[in-house]
């Protein structure tokens, strides 16, 4: 099939690369010139494992065509995926301006009988609004659908190539439902994963409910960890003991400084706003959001309690990204904690395998180091704030030698407490004695 993807971010580019790999012809559009220029050279403007290789191959074979022009992208498209950003507004609601702008442009160029699919995470009812916007500006017949994306940064390509499920929301009108669903099922036919065919609003809610539930698991285990700290129990073992029950599952029960990124913080707040605007008091979700915000503060409190004042203290930080395997620092717990440390007068030096440039754009005062062990020089404490695998095996004796005081605060429960203490470190983590 001929596919147009609007928006060259994580979701758009990964979907474009995977659809091209499946043999479809794909046009990927973005209004940012620089992103398209890079793509034309087979390069990606963010770090995502496996993605550049796929893009490079597809661009070379002309299976994937990057463009800034809606006319070019939509000329032969049977299916259009809207994958533009929906960042949060101050109120917690989603800013839908990019989605509405895309709809206006789509209306000008869309081909007869094409399907416009919303992939961006959007509040309930948005796909219907998109239909109205397009309908007002075109006489051409078309249909809309909602097919949310569940990929995770850092493993976006394999999540999209091997999805757990493919959700397809179509209009409740019977004929439209059958036709549009058929087209989208055909488009995805080479992919595994259960198909969930439903209506537009349900599809939109599935995405929010999934992210909110995962966020709930994280806030839940973080509260259990805080309790473990008080009673002297071990949250890792609690999570294991709970997670072995298949009804609970082991995933997303890692305690730490809370969730960040471009999805969980935004989507939990947006779903909460949806509840408020529908006069529903979503108490549980409100608590999940609050617990996550408090978790970073509690961690800083631990550091402060141990070091006394933070004024003029040298703090070495390992990890800036909101999680491992990404260079993304959006809503990163590490970034908040570093900003607070700096505000309290600490000198912060940091290292991250991928996210240093992005972090520096936001916190200009941040000193960055080329190697992890450099952050330890004359440090009064070392903070681990992102769960990068490489932080598990650092040259600890060398690091200890460089530090003024050998204290480690592990905000990700990454390191084995017994083994690190053998090197003579004072070691503190989250919910582990």
Give the residues lining the site for ligand UDX (CB under 6 A): 149-153, 211, 214, 218, 252-254, 256, 259-261, 263-264, 322-323, 387
- Contact between 80 and 87 under an 8 Å Cβ cutoff? The reply is no
Q: Least distance from C-beta 48 to ligand UDX, angstroms?
A: 10
CB nearer ligand UDX, residue 18 or residue 218: 218
Helices (H), 30-115: 33-40, 51-60, 70-74, 97-109
Residue 104 has phi, psi (to 5 degrees) of -60, -45
CB nearer ligand UDX, residue 3 or residue 156: 156
CA distance 282 to 73: 41
Q: Least distance from C-beta 99 to ligand UDX, angstroms?
A: 17
Q: Is residue 317 within a helix (H) or strand (E), and if so which, with residue range? A: strand 314-318
Q: Least distance from C-beta 109 to ligand UDX, angstroms?
A: 29
Q: Least distance from C-beta 151 to ligand UDX, angstroms?
A: 5
CB nearer ligand UDX, residue 66 or residue 163: 163
Structure-token pair, residue 370: 């080329």
CA distance 216 to 9: 26
Residue 172 has phi, psi (to 5 degrees) of -75, -20
Q: Least distance from C-beta 205 to ligand UDX, angstroms?
A: 14
Q: Rg for the chain (alpha carbons), in Å?
A: 23
CB nearer ligand UDX, residue 252 or residue 340: 252
CB nearer ligand UDX, residue 106 or residue 122: 122
Q: Which of 413, 382, 411, 385 is nearest to 399 (CA)?
A: 382
From the number of C-beta atoms within 10 Å of its C-beta (0-12, 13-18, 19+), residue 197 rates as middle
- DSSP letters for 393-429: S--HHHHHHH-SS-EEEETT--S-HHHHHHTT-EEE-
CB nearer ligand UDX, residue 114 or residue 239: 239
Residue with tokens 């998109």: 130
CB nearer ligand UDX, residue 314 or residue 358: 358
CB nearer ligand UDX, residue 376 or residue 385: 385
Residue with tokens 């239909």: 131
Residues taking part in catalysis? 263
Q: Is residue 168 within a helix (H) or strand (E), and if so which, with residue range? A: strand 165-170
Q: Least distance from C-beta 182 to ligand UDX, angstroms?
A: 26
What is the CB-side half-sphere exposure of residue 131 using CA atoms within 13 A? 16
CA distance 367 to 41: 32
Residue nearest to ligand UDX (CB): 263
Q: What share of the chain is helix, strand, coil (3-state, %, to 5)?
A: 45, 15, 40
Q: Least distance from C-beta 215 to ligand UDX, angstroms?
A: 8
CA distance 344 to 305: 14
Q: Which residues contact 313 (CB under 8 A, 6 or more apart)?
A: 307, 345, 346, 347, 380, 381
What is the CB-side half-sphere exposure of residue 365 using CA atoms within 13 A? 11
Q: Least distance from C-beta 226 to ligand UDX, angstroms?
A: 14
């Amino acid at each position: 099939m001929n596919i147009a993807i609007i928006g060259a971010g994580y979701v758009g580019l990964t979907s474009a690369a995977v659809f091209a790999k499946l043999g479809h012809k794909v046009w990927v559009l973005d209004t940012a010139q620089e992103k398209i220029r890079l793509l034309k050279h087979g390069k990606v403007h963010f770090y995502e494992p496996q993605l550049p290789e796929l893009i490079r191959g597809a661009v070379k074979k002309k299976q994937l065509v990057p463009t800034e022009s809606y006319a070019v992208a939509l000329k032969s498209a049977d299916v259009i995926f809207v994958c533009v950003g929906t960042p949060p507004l101050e109120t917690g609601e989603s800013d839908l301006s990019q989605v509405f702008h895309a709809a206006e442009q789509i209306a000008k160029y869309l081909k007869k009988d094409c399907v416009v699919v919303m992939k961006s995470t959007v509040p309930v009812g948005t796909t219907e609004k998109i239909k109205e916007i397009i309908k007002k500006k075109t006489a051409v017949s078309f249909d809309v659908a909602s097919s949310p994306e569940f990929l995770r940064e850092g493993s976006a390509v394999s999540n999209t190539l091997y999805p757990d499920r493919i959700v397809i929301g179509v209009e409740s009108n019977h004929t439209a439902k059958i036709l549009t669903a058929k087209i989208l099922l055909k488009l995805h036919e080479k992919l595994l994963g259960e198909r969930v065919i439903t209506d537009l609003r349900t599809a939109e809610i599935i995405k929010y409910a999934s992210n909110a539930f995962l966020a709930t698991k994280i806030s839940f285990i973080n509260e259990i960890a805080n309790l473990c700290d008080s009673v002297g129990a071990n949250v890792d073992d609690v999570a294991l003991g709970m997670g072995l029950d298949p009804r609970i599952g082991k995933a997303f029960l890692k305690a730490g400084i809370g969730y960040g990124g471009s999805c969980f913080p935004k989507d939990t707040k947006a779903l909460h706003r949806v509840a408020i605007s529908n006069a529903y008091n979503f108490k549980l979700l409100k608590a999940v959001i609050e617990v996550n915000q408090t978790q970073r503060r509690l961690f800083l409190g631990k550091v402060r309690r141990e070091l006394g004042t933070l004024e003029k203290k040298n703090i070495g930080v390992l990890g800036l990204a909101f999680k491992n395997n990404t260079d993304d620092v959006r809503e990163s717990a590490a970034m908040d904690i570093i900003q607070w440390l700096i505000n309290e007068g600490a000198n912060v030096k940091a290292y991250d395998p991928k996210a240093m440039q992005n972090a520096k754009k936001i916190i200009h005062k941040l000193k960055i180091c080329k190697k992890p062990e450099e952050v330890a020089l004359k440090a009064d404490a070392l903070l681990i704030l992102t769960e990068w695998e490489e932080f598990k095996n650092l040259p600890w004796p060398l690091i200890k030698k460089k530090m003024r005081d050998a204290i480690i605060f592990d905000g990700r429960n990454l390191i084995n407490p017994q083994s690190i203490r053998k090197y003579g470190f004072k070691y503190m983590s989250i919910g582990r004695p």
